[in-house]
Structure 1
Amino acid sequence: MKRREAREKVLQTLFQLENTELTIEEAMSHVLDGQNDSFYEKLVRGTTEHLTQIDESLKAKLENWSLDRLPKIERTILRLAVFELLFMQDAPSKVVINEAIELSKTFGDDKSSKFVNGVLSKYAVESSS
C-alpha cells in the first residue's frame, strides 16, 4: 500500500475510533479488510498512544479555536499529521503537511485545507528555527 493510501485509511480508522466503542483492532480490521501494512499500523497506534501529547501541542498552535470546536475531520487530520511531525522521522515535514492538506481537500470542506495548512505551517516554522 502506498503511503498516501495508508494515510487515507489511517484517517478513516482514527475517525471511526473517535466517539465509538470500537477497539483499535476492530477499527483497523474494518478499514484494512484483511490487508496488512506496517506504516498504517504505526500511524494508527502511534496517534492513539500519543493523543494527549498531540492534543496539548495542537492547543498551543490553535488561534481563536479550541480543539473541541474543530470539525471532527480537521481535528483527525491534524492529529495524524502532528503525530508524524513530532514522533516520526520517516518523511520531511513538507511532505507530511502536503499530505495533510490533500487529505483535507478530499475529506473536508472548502476551507479545510487552508485551515490545516495554517496550523501545520507553525510546526514547519518551529522545526526550521
Structure 2
Amino acid sequence: MKKPGTRHKARKRAVDLLFEAEVKNCSPVDLIVQRRELAIGDDSVGKINDYTAQIVEGIAGDTAGVDAVISSHLKEWTLPRLPAVDRAILRLATWELFNTVDVPTMVVVDEAVELAKELSTDDSPAFINGVLGRIVLLAPQVRAALTAEQAGGSTTDSRSQES
C-alpha cells in the first residue's frame, strides 16, 4: 500500500475540519485558529499544515460559489441531502480543481475518491467520482483564468509546490 503523502494528509485534515465545523455550526477558519493555539501548548493536538489551512480558508472564502458549482452538477440529489462528509469532500475537491493550478485535475479527483473510500459510505467513492467527473470539465477554463489573473499581477500565489 502506498504511504499517504503530505498533501493527502492535509486534505484529510481539511475534510475533518470542514465536517467538524458543519456539525458544530461554526467557522472552519475559527477551528484552525483554535487548533493552532491549542497545538502551541499541547503536543497531543496535531499541528495544522499550511496546505490544510489554505484549503479551508479558500473554501470558507467562497462557500456559496463552491456550493453553487456542486449543486449545479448533482443529479437527483441536493447538497443538503448528501452526507456531511461527502459535502466536505466535494467542497474540497471543487475548490482545489479551480484554485490549485499546480495539482493535476486527475490527482484532485483521485484524492477525493480515496478520501471517500477512507471516510464515507461504500457508495460514496463512485458518487463523488461521478460528480467530480462533470465538474472537472470546467476546471481548465477556471484555472486558465486564474493563471491569467496571477500573471497580470492581480494576486500572488503562495501555494506550495509539493503534491
TM-score by length of 2: 0.71
Alignment map for 1:79-90 (pairs within 5 Å): 79-90=91-102
Which of residues 77, 87, 96 in structure 2 aligns to 1:75?
Answer: 87
Separation (CA, whole Å) in 2 of partners of 1:36 and 1:75: 21
Alignment deviations for residues 41-61 of structure 1 (CA, whole Å, 9 cap, x no partner): 100100111100000011110
Question: Are 2:45 and 1:46 aligned?
Answer: no
Which digits, 9 at most, give the CA deviation of each residue in 1:13-70, with x for residues without a partner? 0001114144435522189725242211100100111100000011110011111111
Question: Which whole-Å deviations, capped at 9, do the CAs of 1:81-103 have from their partners, x for residues lacking one?
Answer: 00001122130110000000000
Change (3 A) 1:128 1:26: closer
Distance change >3 Å, CA 24–CA 128, structure 1 → 2:
closer
| Structure 1: gaps (5+ residues) | none
Higher helix proportion (structure 1 or 2) = 1
Distance 1:45 1:90 in 2: 18
- 1:6 is matched with which residue? 10
- Pair 1:95-2:99 in alignment: no
Query: Which structure: larger Rg?
Result: 2
Identity of aligned residues (%): 31
Alignment-derived partner of residue 65 in structure 1: 77
Count of residue pairs the alignment pairs up = 129
Structure 2: give runs of 5+ residues left out of the alignment. 40-44, 142-163
Please report the RMSD computed on the Cα atoms of aligned residues, expressed in angstroms.
2.2
Letter in 1 for 2:121: D
* TM-score between both structures, scaled by the size of structure 1: 0.89
Give distance in 1, aligned partners of 2:86 and 2:136.
18
Counterpart for residue 127 of structure 2: 115
Question: Measured at CA, do residues 35 and 114 of structure 1 come closer, stay the same or move farther in structure 2, by a change above 3 Å?
Answer: same
Paired with 1:39 and 1:6, the residues of 2 have a C-alpha distance of: 6
Cα distance per residue 1:108-129 (max 9 Å; x no partner): 1110000000000112234468
